[in-house]
A and B are shown apart, each in its own frame.
Chain A
Amino acid sequence: MTDGHLFNNISLGGRGGTNPGQLKIYSGGISWKKQGGGKAVEVDKGDIHKVTWMKVPRTNQLGVRTKDGLYYKFTGFRDQDVANLSNFFQNTCGITPEEKQLSVSGRNWGEVDLNGNMLTFLVGSKQAFEVSLADVSQTQLQGKNDVMLEFHVDDTTGANEKDSLMEIAFHVPNSNTQFVGDENRP
């Protein structure tokens, strides 16, 4: 295992749900292949911008952001993998993974963080969920305070979720100062 780590059961998450596959993390970068062929992800070591870890129910999730602004989420790492891979990223790429926390309080109020293409809804500074603005087909302002995002309907990418997110709306009260007068808000 000097030149890499191979994981056989790592899911790539995204718009259509999750797909199981095989992940290789090696000196050249990150490579993921969907089980049974099809989709593949290649990230060159030099293109990795940021790496994050998050504890999710019963497993761990690796987030990889590329310098092009792409963002991949891989799920299925054991706790000991996290420590090993953190060392590997540090030694091989000179990148120290950051730790993120998942909100499980079930609250519907918090903050919206925009970073590249990703919109993150944070509750008490912990991540509740993330969506990609690249999948948003339309945004609408409803009334003075509500922002509605409509998502592309994509039946082609082998979505494996039973229920697909179509729309999401945020209520931005007048007391919120983050997005006042910002035309580019979500």
Chain B
Amino acid sequence: GDSRASSKTSADLSAYKNVNDLPPPRDLMIQVDQKNEAILLPIYGSMVPFHVATIRTVSSQADTNRNCYIRIIFNVPGTPFSPLDSNTLKIQGSIYLKEVSFRSKDPRHISEAVQQIKTLRRQVMARESERAERAT
């Protein structure tokens, strides 16, 4: 499949084409799907995919109770360098998911997820900006 073309513009940004393209259901925990450049978040018993290009930042934090928190902030219009901005007109009127945070009992899994998301995001962004440069 030509998944490399999937994040060209936000208008045709698409992580998966079909429901059954999602990875097989596993534990309800944050997962990174490198191949499809997506992250999957457990929300109310379902794994909900988000394309990595929709993500602006990801960070984690620990408290004294061995709890660990992960915060994912998404691109919304009006934020600097948002890759969605070029297409904002098309999707005007939409409501955006801006931020989600999760608590986990497993700090290692959370730090792994943060690293994987950051790396994947960097790769996709580098490729896209290279593509944009070549196009000009």
Contact = CB atoms under 8 A, between A and B. Distances in A.
A61 to B, nearest CB: 8
B19 A56 contact: yes
Given A162-B27, A168-B100, A102 B19 contact: yes
B50 A106 contact: yes
A106 B14 CA distance: 6
B103 A105 contact: no
B123 to A, nearest CB: 16
Given A162-B28, A162-B106, A173-B77, A108 B97 contact: yes
Interface in A119-170: 121, 128-132, 146, 148, 153, 160-170
A167 B25 CA distance: 23
A24 interface: no
B96 A58 contact: no
B109 interface: yes
A163 B104 CA distance: 5
The size class of the interface chain B forms with chain A is 35 or more
Interface in B71-109: 74-78, 84, 91-106, 109
B105 A162 contact: yes
Given A56-B19, A57-B20, A57-B22, A166 B98 contact: no
Interface in A62-88: 73, 75
Contacts of A116: none
Contacts, number: 172
B43 interface: yes
Given A106-B51, A161-B28, A166-B69, A173 B96 contact: yes
A166 B101 CA distance: 5
Contacts of B24: 57-58
Interface string B13-41: 11111111111110111100000001001
Interface of A: 11, 13-18, 55-58, 73, 75, 102, 104-112, 121, 128-132, 146, 148, 153, 160-173, 175-179
Interface of B: 10, 13-25, 27-30, 38, 41-51, 54, 69-70, 74-78, 84, 91-106, 109-110
